[in-house]
Structures are given as structure tokens and as C-alpha cells.
Amino acid sequence: MTDMSETPSGDVPPPAAPERKPSGCWKALVLSFLATLLVGGVVAWKFVDSTASLARRGSEWLARVSEKLQTRTLEETIEDAILRVTSTQGDILELATIESQETFTSYDMRTLWGNTVYLGTTVSEIQVPVVYRYHLRLSEGWKIEVKGDQCRVIAPKVRPTLPPAIRTDGLQKKSKAGWLRFNAEENLSKLEKEITPKIETRAGDARHLELARAPSRESVAEFVRKWVLDEHPDAERLTIVVEFADEADGSAFLPVLKPATPSTVP
């Protein structure tokens, strides 16, 4: 019997086509392209960096040259209007100074409907160095007694020199308005105007006067030794005890000596 499944000898199937594989030249081409991009990027980056550096150095050089060629003029003007010129009549003996850093703070709080609604608080602060000076008046009564090796002096009371001096080079100001307040500058300006009256009051308070007493005693003692007892044979060896009129016990020291005035000088 003939096997019908066999292929007739006249119908032989064609051989299968071989499978194509990617060519190696394409891989090389892609890798070369990527390498070219990488090298080109590096070169471009170096070029841009060097160009920027060169431009920066060039601009700095131009700036230096420009500064040498430029002429700069700074001008400040001060105008003053003399309000008053007075004489102390030679009646002031300065005794002591106190330098202090003063701080002034102003709080301005607002509310509505009897403190029901809080509108915020504006806080302004000024710090400023102040120089307080203290003196006495030579024309007021002096009491001086020399007994043995001691000289007891009752001098006129110590007074503050007004107004105190403000050092504006150390002035610091700041002001911050509350969340529903818009008066930071206004509050600061008001506080600034109050500084002089406030430091005048501080200059004469008990604390500042007490600080000034110790150096004032030394100044009075030197004044008495050099100018009042200048002809006393033992002036340099005398111990001088100084009290001021507003703290003395009221005992009478004799003789009473007053500094010479122009009308009594021969």
C-alpha cells in the first residue's frame, strides 16, 4: 500500500530562509554617536565656563579701570540757626559726669467695646547713650574750717547740667505696630520727642545724684586744695572732708569763705 501522507516527489518544499541578525556596524555607529555627544558636551561646557571666567575677569578689570577714571565727590552741609547765647558768669564748677545707656519704651494698646475686642499693641523702643553732667554754683555759700590737719568743707549742693548730652552715634530705634494698628512711625516719633524731658527728670533724681556725689567730693576737695588753700602752708598735707549743703548737719563752720568774684579782686 502506498503511504498517502508522504509528499510527492515532484512537490519538494523550498528550504527555510536563514534568520537575519543585526549588523555590528549599527551598534558601533550608535556608540560612536553617543561618544561624540558626550565629548561635544564636555567641550562645550569647558568653552562656556572659560568664556564666563574670561568675561568675569574682563568686567572686573573694566571696573577697576573705571574706578580710576571716575571722580567721586561727597559733600555734606550743616546749617545752624543760633537761638540763644548766654554766659555762666564764671559761676559754674563742673564736678562729675555719668555715662549711661538709656532705654525708652512706649506701649500703645487699643480695644473696642470695653476691652471686648483687642486691636493690638504698638511697641516703640529707643536706646541711646546719655552723658549726664553735674556742677555747683560758685556764688552760693561755702563754709570752710581748718582745724589741725583737717579741713572741713560744706559746699553748695550738686546740680545737674541741663539738658544732658545725647550721643546720636549710638542711637537705636525700632517700632512695631499691632495686628490692627498702623501707627508704628507715629508712636516712635512721639516717643523720640519725649526723650529730652525724660532724661532731664532722670538727671535730677535721687539715684543719679547719689551716683554723682562721690566723684563730686573729689572734685571739690581738689578745687579747695588748689584754689582756696593755695597760700596755706600745709595745704598739701591737709585732709579735706567735703559735705554738700543739701546733706550737711547744719553746724556752722567758720570762717565762711566764698570764692573771689570780679568785683572783690584787687
Shared domain for 209 and 107, answered yes or no, is yes
Shared domain for 109 and 230, answered yes or no, is yes
Shared domain for 146 and 111, answered yes or no, is yes
Give the mean model confidence (pLDDT) for residues 68-75.
66
Selection from 247, 249, 229, 227 nearest residue 238 by Cα: 229
Shared domain for 232 and 119, answered yes or no, is yes
Please report whether residue 74 resides in a domain. Answer: no
Please report whether residue 98 resides in a domain. Answer: yes
> What pLDDT is recorded for position 11?
56
Shared domain for 31 and 118, answered yes or no, is no
Shared domain for 121 and 225, answered yes or no, is yes
Please report whether residue 261 resides in a domain. Answer: no
pLDDT category of residue 197 using cuts at 50, 70 and 90: very high
CA dihedral (234, 239, 211, 129) in degrees, to 10, reads: 30
Boundaries of domain holding 57: 26-68
> What pLDDT is recorded for position 10?
52
Rounded to two decimals, the pTM is 0.64
Shared domain for 118 and 184, answered yes or no, is yes
> What pLDDT is recorded for position 117?
81
Selection from 235, 69, 30 nearest residue 153 by Cα: 235
Flag whether pLDDT at 189 surpasses 80. yes
* Torsions phi, psi for 143 (to 5 deg): -125, 125
Please write the tens of the pLDDT for every residue from 211-245: 999 999 999 999 998 888 877 777 788 889 999 99
Please report whether residue 1 resides in a domain. Answer: no
> Can you tell me the distance from the alpha carbon of 235 to that of 222, in angstroms, rounded to the nearest whole number?
11
> What pLDDT is recorded for position 44?
66
Please report whether residue 137 resides in a domain. Answer: yes
Please report whether residue 54 resides in a domain. Answer: yes
Give the mean model confidence (pLDDT) for residues 116-121.
84
Please report whether residue 19 resides in a domain. Answer: no
Shared domain for 133 and 225, answered yes or no, is yes
Comparing 98-102, 119-123, 173-177, 255-259, the range with the smallest average pLDDT is 255-259
Shared domain for 49 and 106, answered yes or no, is no
Please report whether residue 165 resides in a domain. Answer: yes
Shared domain for 118 and 186, answered yes or no, is yes
> What pLDDT is recorded for position 80?
76
Q: Which of 36, 68, 100 is the last residue of a domain?
A: 68
Angstrom CA distances, 42 to 17, 30, 45, stand at 47, 19, 5
Shared domain for 238 and 133, answered yes or no, is yes
Flag whether pLDDT at 160 surpasses 50. yes
Flag whether pLDDT at 12 surpasses 70. no
> What pLDDT is recorded for position 119?
84
The pLDDT > 90 percentage for the chain reads 41
Shared domain for 118 and 157, answered yes or no, is yes
> What pLDDT is recorded for position 146?
87
Of 254 and 62, the one with more pLDDT: 62
> What pLDDT is recorded for position 260?
47
Comparing 5-19, 21-35, 40-54, 72-86, the range with the smallest average pLDDT is 5-19
pLDDT category of residue 88 using cuts at 50, 70 and 90: confident
> What pLDDT is recorded for position 147?
87
Comparing 6-10, 177-181, 257-261, the range with the smallest average pLDDT is 257-261
Flag whether pLDDT at 256 surpasses 80. no
Tell me how many domains the chain contains: 2
Please write the tens of the pLDDT for every residue from 97-114: 999 999 999 999 888 877
